[in-house]
Structure 1
Amino acid sequence: MKQINKYISELLREVDCVIIPGLGAFVANPESAAVDTRQHTFSPPYKDIGFNKNINRNDGLLADRIAEREQISFEQANANIHALVKDCIQRLQNGQQIIFDGIGALSVDSARNIQFKPDESTNFLSDSFGLDSFHSPAIKRQSFEKRVEQEIIERSPIPIEKSTVPGKGSVIPLRVYYSAAASVLLIAACSWLYINLDMIKGVDLNYSDLNPFARLDSGTYIQRIDKTAEVGPEEGTDAIQEWLDNVPEETKEVVAEVEEVVKATVVKRFHVIGGCFEIKSNADRLQRKLKRAGFDSGFVGKNRRGLYRVSFGSYETRAEARKALRKIKRNNMKSAWLYVGKK
């Protein structure tokens, strides 16, 4: 019994149905991981083991495993299974319980039907090896209002405590005193603004002017300068041409070199790809062919599989690249495609 029980457990880890000929079959149904929100438990994926008495035809799987492990013939293994089944049926008819270690227990109810109770301590799903159920205490979350209030209390430079007014038994929070002090300052500021109302009439008022402790600098008159000069079109053109004629040749050469450097540093992110090759010589062959055809062909790095990308040409904008791609598909290569490089 113990040896056959061990072979059944082994097979349940490998397959989803193990038949005991003449008795029934243990059926394994894979189940996903589960979370019990009421008990706060987490369960890994597992195989839910059931028993079906109607699946009892011999498929040879269990007998083959027994014959292989015990080095006996297939017929002898079937004979051992038949003896086990005969003993199990006799015990069930006598009202006894049959226990398969690590799998479950078989019994007969009052209606003479076979009942199966699985052993939930064993997980037959190989992918969940090493994983176990665990319990996590409930997370006590603090409301947003409570968190804001606690944050204000912790960051307050003056502790918000309660104070007792002398001569009275009532307890008044200190924040009441802070509010009264702020009100007094506000009334004082409004009074100053009302007294100095004449000062702010007819002038541009900034927020800094409301500061009663700021110094008032006397205004300084700055004469307005008319920068518009009457220059005739011919005079202006002659002046520009004269300035260009006086630019040294060395400066013109430097400007030309800078323009070339700027043109060279323009990033062309949009490439029309003609093919990708694992062998470098094949990529070189396509590049030379495209150059002979008049294209500004080049290599555009490697893709994730290490293949060399060969392009018909590279372009600064997507619009230019799409226009060139349409023309190449129409006249040269229908399999060409657009690759956008990184910025």
Structure 2
Amino acid sequence: MVEKHIKSLLYNHDCVIIPDFGGLIARYVPARISPVKHTLSPPSKMIAFNEKLVLNDGLLISTIAHQDQVSKADAQQRVAEFVHQAKASLQQEKRFELKEIGVFRYNAERRLVFEYQEADNMLEDSFGLPELSARPVKQEEPAVLRTLIKERQQELVEERQPLRRRIKRAYNVAAGLALAGLSVSALYFLSLQDEYNLSSLNPITVFTSGYTAPAAAQPERYADGYVPFTEEERVAYYADMLPASDAPEVAEDKTYEPEGSASITSGFEDTGFDTEDVAEEAIAATEDAAEEAPAHIIYTKDGRSYIISGGYARLENAEMGRAQLMEQGHEEVHILLPQPGSRLFRVALASFPSKEEAQASLTAYREKYGETLWVLNN
């Protein structure tokens, strides 16, 4: 309550003395401009503190006695209690906050320092004046000038498009002429070579260049007395042109059988291999693995209902959860491996033959271990 009276007095007075503590002094601050925030602040009051003003001038005590309708002795008692509370807070917390006015602290020299926190403008002449933000004014061009500039930009775009098309067309023509010139030059240089003919451009000659053609004289069709080849001569002529084959001859009637094939077949027949025996062995191996696993881990569906306390993504975390439950005094705790469509290892507090028995016991378990328990049918 004393803080409220101190603030109301600062609106109408320039100095408010708190007996045995110090005096708050209000001074006028003119309007100011912040070049960083670009704001304009109205005139106001700034509060300072002087710890040497400790003599009671009666202003604060008289105001409390008049407004609260108490005696001056009671008002003085309230002020004394406020001062005692402020000094105790400074000794213990090293600070004391005067709400909506400022904060008192001790500096390195153990002198009382006051930091003013401007919340409300305490100057009556500036009542209701807000802080103004100065925004830069952007000069806009006239509407007619903006229209002319937009039309000129559109004309420039339209002028650039035909120029680009002409450049592209000229580039295509130049590229075509360059390719044609290179092709003609290549043919010309090829014609200058010795023994040049058009058949050298045939790609099949690349594969047949590994052997030399036979030196047999070819017949001249247009010579006098030309006689065509017989069938035997034609076959002999083409046989000389074809390269000799180094492939070994294979008898037509001989059937190739790899060595040891009979022994491989007989081996399978003697063993009496059967898929049913393999399936039975796999099932037996799974059952042996389940028997060797810890008794608290349930691998397969057993038709029972379990009260689940939580699910874990890893088996190690599920073991830790089980250990915590056993430390709390619960003896029977199981871990159910993930079922099809799930990846969680579930920790079960209890198991029951049917779902009805598990639901009936769920309320009692929830009272002891929490409301997050639920029933899982395995």
Q: What is the TM-score when the length of structure 2 is the normalising length?
A: 0.39
Q: What is the TM-score when the length of structure 1 is the normalising length?
A: 0.42
